[in-house]
Structure 1
């Protein structure tokens, strides 16, 4: 007799499926709609990125306990810890752009008139 799939496993599968759907939708949205989605994803309090960071942090804490019991190799715990830290840093990097994203997400779609001026891309990284 096979064991039924536990609810949390089904939930993780469903969330993963929905993330794939969201990514696909994002590629087809109008610019202002896509910006609204991105602003919500990056919202540090209620956004997707913060939720994933929290989930990976919890997973790392669980893995630490399993590592201490000898059930998981230390490399698994360490990799989850690094992932949790990276996500936290990414969330912090995006936090400085929160207001810009929120403002852009509330702007109406641009008319067919003059397109907005393009901006040169600047790469800067600070941690």
Structure 2
């Protein structure tokens, strides 16, 4: 007799599938709608990035306990902790741009007489 797949595993599979669909749609959306999606993904309160960061953080805590019991190598716990820190840093780097994304995403789609001037793609990053 086969064992049914636990709900949390099915949920993780479904979320992964939905993320793929979202990425496919995002690639085809008009700029205004794409900006709305990106702004929601980066929303600091209810956004996807914060949710993923929280999930990796919980995974790190779980891995720590499993490493203490000898079930997982400590390197797994440390890698998840580093991933949590990196995702948190990425969120911090994006904080200053969230308002801009929201503003641009909230603008009605219009056909501008003059297209916006392109921005340079190389920007110095402060650390």
State the TM bucket, normalised to the shorter chain. Answer: over 0.9
SS in 1 for 2:78: helix
**In 2, distance between residues paired with 1:103 and 1:122?**
23
**In 1, distance between residues paired with 2:103 and 2:122?**
20
2:22 maps to what in 1?
A: 22
2:92 maps to what in 1?
A: 92
> What are the ranges of 5 or more consecutive residues in structure 2 without an aligned counterpart?
none
1:47 maps to what in 2?
A: 47
> What are the ranges of 5 or more consecutive residues in structure 1 without an aligned counterpart?
none
- Structure-to-structure mapping, 1:37-116, within 5 angstroms: 37-111=37-111, 113-116=113-116
**Superposition RMSD on alpha carbons, in Å?**
1.1
Aligned length: 127
Deviation at 1:17, TM superposition (A): 0.1
**In 1, distance between residues paired with 2:53 and 2:5?**
25
**In 2, distance between residues paired with 1:30 and 1:124?**
29
1:3 maps to what in 2?
A: 3
**In 2, distance between residues paired with 1:56 and 1:117?**
39
Deviation at 1:71, TM superposition (A): 0.4
> Stretches of 4+ moved more than 4 A in 1?
none
**In 2, distance between residues paired with 1:125 and 1:56?**
26
**In 2, distance between residues paired with 1:87 and 1:4?**
33
